[in-house]
Amino acid sequence: MNQTTRDLPVVDALRLPEEIRALLRPDELLADRAGRQHRLPRFFYEVRSWSQAKELLLTPHVRLSELLIVDSREAPRLLEDFPHYVPCAVSLLARIIEDLRAKVGAPVFVAANGGYRSPAHRLSVHASPHLWAAAADIYRVGDTWLNTQSSVEKYGTLARELLPDVNVLPFGHQPGETDDHLHLALGYLRAVPAGCDERGSELNSGNPGATLPALLAPSPFESASAQTS
């Protein structure tokens, strides 16, 4: 039987070991390309092994592993060692990809580095929804490679029909544009599953008074707030 996110422990990254916290930077503010500040995610799924990521279906057709593929520009600890951590918003990202797949009637392929990547990844210069597991770089739909203006615009339009607030970068060769994939983003989405307690941010400012357990019971989403940009 396939695993789901219900089989994954949810962790409060503020309570993770310093080595990991320094890479994930939970609750820290990070500026986007325009200088706007965004608070990085705090609650993550803990993935024990690559085989677990490959077996775990986020939706009927989207495996967790597809959204975790990164190259050597990722921090070695997050690339090679387990457990891996992925922001809980990844479930919602998978849902929009699944819906797009159903709408176009063909498999949707997410590029390496184009699902979740950490703030420590060398491509993570600015705040990008990829760091929230809330963006996907789709390079291929069925047999169509998304490297032309017409293909990028066609599938961007279809994605917006699914969810008007989804952010799609325009076709072009400049920063903030794409020319070899469709960048589809839900925004800086902080997902807080039920059972999680959002107190304890003071840990970031050096106050050790928080009492949250690092590991929280797996549970469905209680709330999710999305901001597109």
Amino acid letter, 7: D
Q: Could you tell me the smallest distance in angstroms from the CB atom of residue 159 to another protein? A: 18
Q: Distances from the Cα of 229 to the Cαs of 10, 118, 163, 165, in angstroms?
A: 27, 19, 14, 9
- 180 lies in the binding site for another protein (CB under 8 A): yes
Applying CB under 8 A, the site for another protein has a residue count of 18
Q: Could you tell me the smallest distance in angstroms from the CB atom of residue 176 to another protein? A: 13
State both tokens at 139: 């390079």
- 113 lies in the binding site for another protein (CB under 8 A): yes
CA nearest neighbour of 195 among 89, 43, 31: 43
- 109 lies in the binding site for another protein (CB under 8 A): yes
Which residues between 62 and 91 bind another protein (CB under 8 A)?
Answer: 69, 71-73
Q: Distances from the Cα of 88 to the Cαs of 47, 94, 143, 182, in angstroms?
A: 11, 11, 30, 22
- 50 lies in the binding site for another protein (CB under 8 A): no
Instruction: List, in sequence order, the alpha helices (H) in 143-214.
Output: 149-162
- 179 lies in the binding site for another protein (CB under 8 A): yes
From residue 144 to residue 163, the character string flagging contacts with another protein as x (rule: CB under 8 A) and all else as - is: -x-x----------------
Q: How far is CA 196 from the centre of its chain?
A: 19
- 140 lies in the binding site for another protein (CB under 8 A): yes
Considering only 22, 31, 112, 217, the residue that binds another protein (CB under 8 A) is: 112
Closer CB to another protein, residue 31 or residue 112?
112
For the chain, give the number of residues.
229
Q: At what angle do helices 149-162 and 90-104 cross, to 10 degrees?
A: 110
Helix (H) or strand (E) holding 77: helix 76-80
Closer CB to another protein, residue 9 or residue 170?
170
Q: Could you tell me the smallest distance in angstroms from the CB atom of residue 219 to another protein? A: 33
Contact residues toward another protein (CB under 8 A) are 69, 71-73, 109-114, 139-140, 145, 147, 173, 179-181
